[in-house]
């Protein structure tokens, strides 16, 4: 029987077991109670309270503006809905770079105030001190390499990363450094499938991809993208499982018509 079916609560240890058994790990973002409840009930292994909330919840162009307080608000809403999934919360831009004591304070606030299960941060060797300090407090850390949206102004573009040998080798080194430090899993975003597969083979921890091909240990998507709520974002790696934007638009316009024409409420819909 698969680990997925047996397990009542996903832990970092269970994820490790899934990798060992070759069972793929499912991961999706969520930012609020109502939708997180559905995602958890569906049997998602990991729920990511991503700083993509900055884009899809708050309408910012990048992930940079979202604050630690706002991440804690989203995370605590998600946590109240969860029975089974492991919840990972993004440390937002400015909450961990450059000062490992600040990083630990930020991670502790997330764990204490939202009761989440783990944190994620972007970067390799340059954030090693922060990763190590957070881990030393017993907080599980997920890494994130490849396209790291918090550094968008450094790269200037959201195109595929690590296509050249030098950058690919650096990414492999960073992945190993982070694994050695003790992270429990690693996200690889928008990198060539062959490179991602190589990293997944060389690491013992689970490697979860977004735009990183099928040779990794699991997949993650942003909920609003896979449901078709966001329309303008259409990278090659994105599979849309619904066209919720159009469906919701239809529901809202029908409701407006019903109100305007007096069709709603009808006899049965009143006291
Ligand atoms: O914030 C987020 O949603 C993420 C995923 C794209 C992995 O970091």
Q: Give pLDDT tens digits for 199-216.
A: 999 999 999 999 999 999
Residue partners of 271: CB distance under 8 A and separation at least 6: none
Which of these ranges, 6-15, 49-58, 65-74, 79-88, has the smallest mean pLDDT?
6-15
For residues 67-83, b (16+ Cβ closer than 10 Å) or e, as one string? ebebbbbbbbbbbebbe
128: pLDDT strictly greater than 90: yes
- Decide: helix, strand or coil at residue 90: strand
pLDDT value at position 124? 98
Summarize pLDDT for 143-152 with one digit per residue, the tens. 999 999 999 9
Q: What is the pLDDT of residue 193?
A: 98
Strand partners, 86: 46
pLDDT attached to residue 5? 60
Q: How far is the CA of 51 from the centre of ligand 1 (A)?
A: 6
Q: Indicate which residue of 164, 189, 247, 269 is catalytic.
A: 189
Does residue 10 have its Cβ closer than 6 Å to ligand 1? no
Q: What is the pLDDT of residue 203?
A: 98
Distance, in Å, from the CA atom of 124 to the CA atom of 131, rounded to the nearest integer, reads 9
Distance of CA 103 to the CA centre of its chain: 19
CB 151 within 8 A of CB 181: no
User: pLDDT at position 149, please?
Assistant: 96
**Which residue is associated with the tokens 């937002």?**
92
> Between helices 68-79 and 33-42, what is the axis angle to 10°?
50
Decide if 223 contacts 30 (C-beta within 8 A).
Answer: yes
Q: Are 192 and 162 within 8 A, CB to CB?
A: yes
Q: Is 189 a catalytic residue?
A: yes
| Residue pLDDT, tens place only, 99-124 | 999 999 999 999 999 999 999 999 99
What's the predicted TM-score (pTM) here? 0.96
Q: How does pLDDT run across 15-33, given as a tens digit for each residue?
A: 999 999 999 999 999 999 9
Among 210, 223, 237, residue to substitute to test ligand 1 (most atoms within 8 Å of Cβ): 210
From 220, 225, 238, mutation site for ligand 1 pocket: most ligand atoms within 8 A of C-beta: 220
CB 93 within 8 A of CB 103: no
Nearest CA to ligand 1 atom 4: 50
* pLDDT score, position 217: 98
pLDDT of residue 7: 72
DSSP-based three-state secondary structure for 119: strand
Pocket flag, ligand 1, residue 220 (CB < 6 Å):
yes
Confidence of residue 3 (pLDDT cuts 50, 70, 90): low
């Amino acid at each position: 029987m698969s680990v997925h079916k047996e397990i009542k609560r996903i832990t970092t240890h269970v994820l490790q077991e899934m990798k060992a058994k070759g069972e793929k790990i499912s991961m999706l973002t969520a930012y609020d109670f109502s939708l997180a409840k559905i995602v958890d009930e569906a049997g998602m292994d990991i729920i990511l309270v991503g700083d993509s909330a900055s884009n899809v919840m708050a309408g910012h162009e990048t992930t940079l503006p979202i604050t630690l307080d706002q991440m804690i608000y989203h995370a605590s809403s998600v946590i109240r809905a969860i029975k089974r999934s492991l919840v990972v919360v993004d440390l937002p831009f400015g909450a961990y770079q450059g000062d490992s004591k600040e990083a630990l304070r930020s991670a502790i606030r997330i764990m204490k105030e939202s009761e989440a299960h783990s944190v994620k941060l972007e970067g390799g060797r340059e954030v090693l001190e922060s990763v190590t300090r957070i881990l030393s407090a017993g907080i599980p850390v997920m890494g994130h390499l490849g396209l790291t949206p918090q550094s968008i102004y450094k790269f200037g573009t959201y195109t595929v990363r690590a296509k050249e040998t030098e950058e690919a080798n650096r990414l492999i080194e960073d992945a190993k450094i982070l694994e050695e430090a003790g992270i429990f899993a690693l996200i690889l975003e928008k990198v060539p499938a062959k490179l991602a597969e190589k990293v997944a083979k060389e690491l013992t921890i689970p490697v979860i991809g977004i735009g990183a091909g099928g040779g990794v240990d699991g997949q993650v998507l942003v909920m609003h993208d896979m449901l078709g709520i966001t329309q303008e974002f259409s990278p090659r790696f994105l599979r849309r499982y619904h066209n919720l934007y159009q469906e919701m638009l239809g529901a809202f316009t029908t409701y407006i018509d019903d109100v305007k024409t007096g069709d709603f409420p009808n006899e049965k819909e009143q006291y």
